[in-house]
Chains A and B, each alone.
Chain A
Amino acid sequence: EAGVAQSPRYKIIEKRQSVAFWCNPISGHATLYWYQQILGQGPKLLIQFQNNGVVDDSQLPKDRFSAERLKGVDSTLKIQPAKLEDSAVYLCASSLHQGTAYEQYFGPGTRLTVT
């Protein structure tokens, strides 16, 4: 069974530029999560989708971050404009459905460096 795929693996941008990350969850997983992991910290949940609807985006900085999952499969997370403090690894995870949120499978992450 293929795991969660993410791209790109690495991205370096200058502050005030825009960036987008892509995630393809495990086939059949209805719930998708985006996390931000700052160096030396645990992952922090940014947004959770159930199919193509947002379940929780309470910790998403909505003035600069946006995410979508239009067809209920792939998802894109965008930052516009980026700030230095956005430097982090952005992890995507999926679970079978919202009731199994505790059994999440993570992708390898995208490491973002903002200079």
Chain B
Amino acid sequence: GQQLNQSPQSMFIQEGEDVSMNCTSSSIFNTWLWYKQDPGEGPVLLIALYKAGELTSNGRLTAQFGITRKDSFLNISASIPSDVGIYFCAGHHRDNYGQNFVFGPGTRLSVLP
């Protein structure tokens, strides 16, 4: 089935630094999504991207839907301690045969004060 790869697997940054993480796939998706998961909680939707090339911002977060429809990136500017968590990308594909919703393995972010 379709799989997503995320890089890096984990990262440690200083408070105030910018962060960038990627998600790639061998298959195309119609929609890319970015979620954040805190310990003991379910994932929370951060940004949804619906069109190839689309660049969308949500506060300090910016994400882009790759032109090839096989990748996406998420940037976080001026990181703060509450940015700590696991960031998942997810791809959604829908066609005449049904739909597929796949999560990546996640990028674990640690923010050092």
Instruction: Given A56-B98, A101-B92, A101-B99, check contact A106 B106 (CB 8 Å).
Output: no
Contacting A at CB under 8 A, from B11-37, are 31, 33
Contact B45–A105 (Cβ < 8 Å): yes
Query: Given the known A-B contacts A42-B88, A42-B106, are A108 and B99 also in contact in the complex, defined by CB atoms under 8 Å?
Result: no
Chain B facing A: main interface SS = strand
**What is the minimal beta-carbon distance from A51 to any residue of chain B, in angstroms?**
16
Is A73 part of the binding interface, using a Cβ–Cβ cutoff of 8 Å?
no
Task: Assign chain A's interface to a size class.
Answer: 20 to 34
Which of B42, B92, B101, B103 counts the most chain A CB atoms within 10 A?
B42
A103 in the interface (beta carbon within 8 A): yes
The residue on A at minimum CB distance from B106 is: A42
Residues A103 and B48 in contact, CB atoms below 8 Å apart: yes
> Do residues A102 and B48 form an inter-chain contact, with CB atoms below 8 A?
yes
Q: Which of chain B's residues has its CB closest to A59's CB? A: B1
> What is B's interface to A at a CB cutoff of 8 Å?
4, 31, 33, 40-45, 48, 88, 90, 92, 94, 98-99, 101-106
In the assembled complex, 12 residue pairs joining A and B whose CB atoms fall closer than 8 Å, in A order, are A42-B4, A42-B104, A56-B98, A56-B99, A102-B33, A103-B45, A103-B48, A105-B45, A106-B44, A108-B42, A109-B40, A109-B42
